[in-house]
Structure formats: C-alpha cells, structure tokens
Amino acid sequence: MLEMHFMHLQTTLELKFSPPPAPTGGGLNSATIIDLAVVKSFLFPYEIHSLPELSSDHNPILLNFFLSYSIPKYPGKLNTNWKKYKKALENIDLINPHKIQSSNHIDMAVELLEQQITAAKISTSKPFATKDSYIDPRLKELNRERNYARKIFQTTRNPVFKSKLNKINKMISKLSEKVQSEGLVNELRNLNTDDGTIWNYVKPFKKKFKNIPNLISPAGIANTDQEKANFLADSLEKQFTLNNISDPDTEKIVSDSVTCFRINNNYPSELNAPPFPSEIMECIKKLKINKAPGIDSINNKMLKNLPWNIIINLNTIIHKIMTIGHFPTRWKTATVVPILKPGKDPAYKSPKSYQYH
C-alpha cells in the first residue's frame, strides 16, 4: 500500500525518492531502510549514504550535493553531428541580453552561453570508433595453445603441461619481437616524400622538450613550477604594461567617441555604430578551422555552425559590452606557453629570455 502511494506521488508530483544503498535502522535480522530523500527538479548530481557512526539502531544519513558540477569532456577526437548540434542550440533557453545592466550580468551571460554551446557539442558528439589492433595469426595460435596448456595444468597439476606452458611463453616472446621488427621494417619501406608520410614519421623525433631551469629575478630565485610560473607572469605583465605616451588630442577624440556611444546612444558615423549580426557572421566565416580553442574549448568549427538565434544573442551581448564598457573576464583569459627565444641561453635563467604563445 505504501509503495503504491509513493508511486502515485512520484508520477503526479514528479518527485524522486532516493534511499541510501545500506539499511538505516533495525537489528541484525530486521535491518531496513527507514530514511530517504525526496528530490524534485534538481539537475545537479548527488549521493546519499548511511553512516554507521552511532551505537543506536538508527544510523544517520549523509546527503551530498555536487553544486560545482562541470560538464564532462571527452578525451581525444569526436565525431559531431552538426545538424543535431544546430538543432540543439536552436531549442535552448538563453538569458535575455536586453536585461543585462552591469558587468556581472555580462560575465554571467557569457559564461552561460559558453556552457550551452559546449553542452550542445558534447550531447551531439561521440568518440570515433577505435579500430582493433592487428594481431599476427601466428601469435593468436600460440596464445590459444598457451591458454589451453595453462588450463590443463591448473586442473591436473601435471609438470609436463607446466613445461609446455613455459616453452610456449618463450616462443610467444621471441615471435612478438620478430613481428614488431618486421612491422617496423615494412613501415619504413612504405615511407615516401610524395604523400608526406616520411615527415609525419620523423616529426615526433624532431620535437625537443626542455624543462625550464631555475629562474632568477630581483624578487629571488624560482625553483618550483609554481614559482617559475609567477616569475614568468610578472615578466609578461611588465612587457605589456602601456608606456606613458598619451596625447591630449587623441585622448579627447577617443573620449568623445566613447561618450557619444555610451551616453547619447547616437551613431554619427559608421565607426561608432555597433556591429550587425551579418558582420559577426562574416567575421566567423573568415576564421580558420585548424586553430586551437581557448579555455572554453569552443573551436572555430563550432562557431561556424552556430544557428542564427545564437548569433543574435551574441550580437546583443557585444552591444551591451560596448554600452556598459566592460569586456567579459572569461574572454580576457588565455593559456600562455613560454618558449625560449632563438639564440638565448637557458643558463641565463632570466624570465626575459622567453617569448609567449
């Protein structure tokens, strides 16, 4: 009767009853679950556990909510259905960008838009099917013989089968080395300069991986990776600090232009006018697909397949950025890789010896 009542509540009120995996009450012969959680419209993952911490016959339960849940990312390459990707983005609920009134609102709208684009990519993608590795037929036959000999030996404990098992293992080891050597020889014979296979083969061997040595700066010596990163970040910040080369006439022109756009909201010239969705589309069309994405993992091919409603939303966000005068924090964040400058000696141990990409 109680079970039917729970099913009725779950169906009519869209509730979810989550019991712990272990009993919460009773003795050894009467253990039962007497505690559960009632959840409704909660999209984050959660866990419920029974804690045997008290001496009584009623255990407390612990309910964990993972509110900082992030969208999982697939490793490796993905095969994306771009039609489904566009369809998924056409049906999402977006924040009305016209309600953006502050810099925090801009950051929230940009972050939500990035999450929805990434979620659409993941939901409409699947990893490429991995091809089964080739195994030489001779090795397959020896493996079958070895498995059979092992099975017979484990059943009979006859030392004859143990000797045969060891002999087959040695044969497998020698044949594996021979097959690997033959495969390498065949691969080298098939390399040529016409289709680029020789370059693809040699390229990994030409890469030079060097650890950044200890760095020295006026602040001290950096030994750990964290200290080196801080030294390089300070050096990068100094390199991109603007010099005091202000010109009153230029500053007045810039100030008047910004004031005209942000306060008067008039566009006396094409230079001051905000972009149109068609202009954003033209810029996206010129992007190269083989460029690496930023920290949001949104590559240029994902941008090229954005539907029109996302372009309109992005266009309005850009208008708000220009009106409020705040550039999104996430769009100002990038992954920087230090590379030793040509001709610089790493033994010099100075952050200025590195360029950044």
The rounded distance, in Å, linking the Cα atoms of 46 and 52 is: 20
pLDDT value of residue 304: 94
Residue 195 maps to a domain: yes
Closest CA to 213 of 224, 197, 199: 224
DSSP assigned state of 246: -
The rounded distance, in Å, linking the Cα atoms of 94 and 292 is: 26
pLDDT in tens, the chain (357 residues): 566 666 666 666 767 777 777 777 765 566 777 777 787 766 566 778 777 665 556 778 887 776 655 555 555 677 889 999 999 999 888 777 778 888 888 888 898 899 899 989 988 988 877 666 778 889 989 989 998 998 898 889 888 989 999 999 999 999 999 999 998 898 888 888 788 788 888 887 777 666 777 787 777 787 888 888 888 888 888 777 776 667 788 888 877 777 776 665 545 455 556 688 899 999 999 999 888 888 888 999 999 999 999 999 999 898 888 888 888 988 888 777 888 787 777 666 777 777 776
SS3 state of residue 136: coil
Give the number of domains in the chain.
Answer: 2
Of the residues 37, 65, 93, which one is the last residue of a structural domain?
65
Q: For residue 12, give its domain range.
A: 1-65
Residue 131 maps to a domain: no
Amino acid identity, residue 300?
Answer: N
Residue 186 maps to a domain: yes
- Is residue 128 within 8 A of residue 74, CB to CB? The reply is no
The rounded distance, in Å, linking the Cα atoms of 235 and 238 is: 5
Residue 282 maps to a domain: no
The rounded distance, in Å, linking the Cα atoms of 227 and 316 is: 41
Residue 177 maps to a domain: yes
The rounded distance, in Å, linking the Cα atoms of 127 and 2 is: 45
- Is residue 219 within 8 A of residue 227, CB to CB? The reply is no
Of the residues 206, 228, 260, which one is the last residue of a structural domain?
206
- Is residue 63 within 8 A of residue 44, CB to CB? The reply is no
Task: Identify the burial level of 284 via C-beta atoms within 10 angstroms of its C-beta, where 0-12 means exposed, 13-18 middle and 19 or more buried.
Answer: middle
Residue 347 maps to a domain: no
Residue whose pair of structure tokens reads 């994405």 in the numeric block: 293
| Residues written for the chain | 357
CA 286 vs CA 85, 279, 293: distances in Å? 21, 11, 15
Residue 181 maps to a domain: yes
Overall pTM surpassing 0.85 (yes/no): no
SS3 state of residue 26: coil
Of the residues 10, 37, 65, which one is the last residue of a structural domain?
65
DSSP string, 34-83: ---EEE-S--S-EEEEE---SSSSB--EEEEE-TT------SS-EEE-HH
The rounded distance, in Å, linking the Cα atoms of 49 and 36 is: 10
Quick one: tokens of 143? 């493996």
Residue 23 maps to a domain: yes
